[in-house]
Amino acid sequence: MSVYARIMANAEQQVDLARCAEIAETCTNFSLRKVTRMVGAIYDDGLRPSGLKGTQFNQLVALALLRTATVQKLAKILVVDRTSLTRSLVPLERDNLVQSPQCRWPRTETRTDEPWLSAPQGSNSTLGTGATARS
């Protein structure tokens, strides 16, 4: 298990713990990111039988709608950075759910098939029928 600690550039500099606690309690961004991770974990649990994570499911749905897209276009639509998207496409490529033509720039992703669209049994009761996931 790793523990992360803030590295102070100046040893004389002190962290205002009271201010940090106030931010943790009142900052909308801090709270929203925490809640988003919790909701994402719920979707990941519901999708676990399919072998997909929520972010991968969203990528496959976007590619199904677009049919083909550059990584840059897909990243823009999904509101993620290209590096993270490229990294998360690797397992989808490995499992032959998307394909990327070799030696082509800009890199283009294409969906290969849609067996993943069949949600695992019981996922509606877990995730809800009207739920929409966004990364």
Give the E-state strand segments of 59-104 in sequence order. 68-70, 98-99
What pLDDT sits at residue 99? 87
The pLDDT, as a whole number, for residue 51 is 92
Query: Rounded CA gap, 54 and 60, in Å?
Result: 10
**pLDDT at 133 (0 to 100):** 42
Q: What is the predicted pLDDT for the residue at 101?
A: 72
Q: Which of 115, 131, 105, 103 is nearest to 64 (CA)?
A: 115
- Tell me the two tokens of residue 2: 């790793």
| The pLDDT value given to residue 131 | 45
Give the pLDDT confidence score for residue 42 in this predicted structure: 96
**Under 8 Å between Cβ of 43 and 54:** yes
Side-chain half-sphere of 64: how many Cα atoms within 13 Å?
12
The pTM is what? 0.62
128: left (phi over 0), alpha (psi -120 to 50) or beta: left
Q: Which residues of the chain have pLDDT under 70?
A: 1-13, 102-135
Determine the pLDDT at residue 76.
Answer: 95
